[in-house]
Every structure is written in C-alpha cells, then in structure tokens.
Amino acid sequence: MDHDTPDHAGAGTGPSTPEARALDAPLAEAWIRALAAAVDVHQRELTDLDSAIGDGDHGSNLHRGFTAVLAVLDALQPADAGAVLGRTGSTLISKVGGASGPLYGSAFRAMGAALPPSPATPAEFAGALAAGLAAVRRLGGAAPGDKTLVDAYTPALAAFERAVAGGAGLAGAASAAAEAAERGMRATTPLQARKGRASYLGPRSIGHQDPGATSTALLFRTLADVTG
C-alpha cells in the first residue's frame, strides 16, 4: 500500500488535490491493495457473518483470492487501470470458490473492460462501476432487497453517479458511495434472503447482516480511502 498517487489531471499545474485525480494504474492498484488489506483485517468478521446464514467461507475465500491477486500484481506492471482491475477479476474467478469469486471477479473484469486506456475521469469510472454491477446481476440474478451484495452496490453506484453529476471529483464521489454502501449493508439485517445459500433459511435469515453486502461496503470504503 506504499503507492504514491500523483496528480493525474494536471501535471505541472500546481499541487495535487484529491478532487483533481483520475483513475490510473497506480491508483487502481492502490485501491486493490487497500481492499486486500481490509479483507485481511475483516476476514473473521466476514466468516462469522457467513457462518450465520451461509457456508461460513466468505472471509476465507476472499482472503485467499486477494492474496493471489497481490501475487499477480507483484509480478506484473499493468499498463492502465483497466488492466489492473481486469487482472484482479480474472484472478478472483480462477482462485476463489463459492459465489464470491465469480461475482466479484465478474464485477472487476467488467469494470476493467469498461475503462479507457487513458486515466479514467470520474464519469468514466462511474460507467465502469455500473458495468460491474450489471455483471453481478446478470450472473447472480439478484435484485435490490434480495439480501445480497447488490443491496450495498446499488445505492453506492447511485450515490457515486449523483455526486459526479453534481460536479464532484473522484474523492467526493467515492466518499458518497462508501457512505451509501454502508447504509445499504446495514439495511440488509431485517431482510429475508431470496438468493444464495441464505435463501434456504427463509425467515431465519432475518436479523443477520449479509456478508456479501459487508464485503462490498469494504470495497467502496477502501476506494474512498485511497482517493481521499
């Protein structure tokens, strides 16, 4: 996580500010490394949440996947943000079992494919985040209210898009998205699961925070941290 994040929007025009940043390869890699660190810190929490309503492997699966992602990033020097996110997605798909690998892997691959080779503007990154959510929904078939990661991702994307439309830069939009994701995460507790392993529990899934929504909140919080 010792990656410098220079001013990608106006080299030579003065000091860098968070709002001036665009998403390039170093910043994308810093995000993924921060997310890997957060998964490491919260592995037990994610596993405990999943043990209550799932297979109990969400934390360990993500930890294994992001450990593999870090090894890939250490060995390679992706040329742009799209390559960083695409490599992340492909590695998660190949290394992580259960639902989390294919879902997060597909999201990151779709984000990467949607980004331009040049540093992405906030609006371009909003489009990439939208592509990521679309990939998750195509693969898992979940909608808001089903008690899945979609319940955190959907409001996060909406908040990011609103912030960008209002003139916010990457840092401001990411901060708004993180707050919305965390609200969405907490809002899964009273829901009855309608997708995934938790849906087998029926009403017994009520009262438990969804582990996928929790890891999605980490995804957006770490994005806010590295861009802020």
Q: What is the tens place of the pLDDT at every residue in 109-142?
A: 999 999 999 999 999 999 999 999 999 999 999 9
Contact 142, 206 (CB under 8 A): no
Nearby residues of 6 by Cβ (< 8 Å), 6 or more positions away: 16, 26
**Segment 6-32, tens digit of pLDDT:** 333 333 333 345 555 799 999 999 999
Is pTM beyond 0.85? Reply is yes
The answer as to whether 86 is a domain residue is yes
3-state secondary structure of 189: coil
The answer as to whether 104 is a domain residue is yes
H or E stretch including 104? helix 100-114
Rounded to the nearest 10 degrees, the angle between the axes of helix 43-53 and helix 58-75 is 140
How far is Cα 81 from Cα 87, in angstroms, rounded to an integer?
Answer: 10
The number of distinct structural domains making up the chain is: 1
Q: What is the CATH number of the domain that holds 204?
A: 1.25.40.340
- The residue range of the domain holding 33 is 23-227
The answer as to whether 3 is a domain residue is no
